[in-house]
Structure 1
């Protein structure tokens, strides 16, 4: 699999503060990667280092095969790491013409990219008339002008309304489906779960997990249960090694599984134990639950 970016033991210190600590991960072509973590976890610092706008303290990184200078590699990268910043009294088309001049890109790319982000019909409207979501989509069009191999986005849906968030997420999926690798930083678990194929989880600059999203949430899931034999059911679950953590809230019992088991099998098992269930739902653990488990280990 072709490698786009390799990060090895990267560390960044700002005085006494360690923003990124001994971070290593690899980004391969054709995937959507999320760097997930709360504010202050080192996401933006990591992006800044690989984009050559922040100096690293220790460690290394290299683009593509490692034989390309960072300066040349960045010509194949599209990035938005700050709020969209265009000339307010110029149209979208005029603003993108300036970007084309800077990047050495033919003007014919402008309409093509505006169409991708759904702004072709607004190309002659002034930037100041755009909503925040439209401004963000214009910034993505700008980052796509040089047909980058990887698109880097820092908190792409920050501050947007629900419709704007939906549009940006759909756009990210659409761009990825055309073969562009995407790396986005986000503090939103929901965003990473819906958009990304892979995730790097950071907390206080330390990597907690790196790999496919599916593997992170591939636990055996849990049952939500209710029964008239409430206490007996809890006692049975707590003494059975097939189950791990047992939680009770407002009469609803949540039993996490240590091994695979479907609802029918569980229901039969309970019936044989003389317990009748009035409520039985099998659920998968969400990324949020897995994230909380990971971060709890550091508390």
Structure 2
């Protein structure tokens, strides 16, 4: 039986006439990396704010763990970074983390351990103001990990970073997850969710469009790009074959989406047997991005 960390039921949040989160339900189970994915303004930050007791919900409910702990107590087992990290600029990284340890009632021995996780141990005695943006973000992650939380919550963790900084943060997130910490991250970057997360909740205007495993969302069987001199005949065959779904025709190029797995060579042989010679045959996999765009477009 999977152990649930966070359960959200029919959560709704209205700001005046605006509904930021609409009837949202999903469950986060232990040991996975969840992405809440959606464009800006889709309700990601509001959802995180509600479960972290920073924003009041309008209706619905949520509970942490088995539901028998108060949110206040449960949040002691949660590490979260939802705003820009605020550390004292003239204090060193280690001094800043000592303050956090005092607030959280954590032993100072955790400081080096967590700085090591985020690759800042060698910079621990440098002042915070000398840190690059990426290092500041990594220090914030170290800070959120000091109390060995059950779950780490990150809102747009790579926002504003350069490619190297982005790569470092994503690598750290994967390592933290590999050590058994559950992670929930909000992102508007598909690519980030595809690279980092095992599960995804796709939001649009506060509503859930999809939730499930990332690999199942990506798991369409791809599509063929085809050209032949007998275009009409080919289209007829494809239309009558249940292995194919959507067909798109642009000039000479036919794009045929697969409903079932099929290799290019099997398809080629099948066409040959039908007397159709293909002058162009390429098999492609539909990316999560294309599916995501389809998901978000369908509801415009």
TM-score normalized by structure 2?
A: 0.95
Number of residue equivalences = 299
Measure the CA separation in 2 of the matches of 1:292 and 1:85.
Answer: 35
What displacement does 1:78 show? 0.3
Question: Paired residue for 2:186?
Answer: 185
TM-score, normalised to structure 1's length? 0.95
Partner residue, 2:55: 54
Q: d(CA) in 1 for partners of 2:73 and 2:119?
A: 30
**Any idea what the Cα deviations from partners look like across 1:95-152, whole Å, max 9, x if unmatched?**
1111111111111100000000000011111111111111111100000000000000
User: What is the DSSP-based 3-state SS (H/G/I as helix, E as strand, rest coil) of the residue aligned with 2:129?
Assistant: helix
1:202-281 mapped onto 2 (5 Å cutoff)? 202-230=203-231, 232-249=233-250, 252-281=253-282
The reply to whether residue 166 of structure 1 matches residue 171 of structure 2 is: no
CA deviations 1:237-284 (Å, max 9, x no partner) are: 345443222234575432101222222211111111222234333222
SS of residue in 1 equivalent to 2:6: strand
In 2, Cα distance between the equivalents of 1:158 and 1:252?
39
Q: Measure, in 2, the Cα distance between the counterparts of 1:150 and 1:84.
A: 18
Counterpart-to-counterpart distance in 1, 2:229 and 2:139: 58
Number of the residue aligned with 1:76: 77
- Tell me the equivalent position of 2:8: 7
For each residue in 1:136-180, what CA deviation from the matched residue of structure 2 results, as whole angstroms up to 9, or x when unmatched?
Answer: 111000000000000000000111111111111111110000000
Q: Which runs of 5+ in 2 are unaligned?
A: none
Aligned Cα RMSD in Å?
1.6
Structure 2 residue aligned with 1:128: 129
Q: Secondary structure at the match of 1:10?
A: strand
Once residues 238 and 203 of structure 1 are traced to their aligned partners in structure 2, the CA distance between those partners, rounded to angstroms, is 33
- Give CA-to-partner distance per residue, 1:178-232, whole Å, 9 cap, x none: 0000000000011111111100011000111111111212222211234455555
Partners in 1 of 2:250 and 2:90 — Cα distance?
56
Provide closer, same or farther for how the CA distance between residues 251 and 96 of structure 1 changes in structure 2, counting only shifts above 3 A: farther
Give the whole-Å Cα distance in 1 for the aligned partners of 2:99 and 2:36.
31
2:197 aligned residue: 196
Partner of 1:111: 112
State the shift of 1:88 in Å.
Answer: 1.1
- Please identify runs of 4+ aligned residues in structure 1 that moved more than 6 A: none
| 1:105–1:249 Cα change, 3 Å | farther
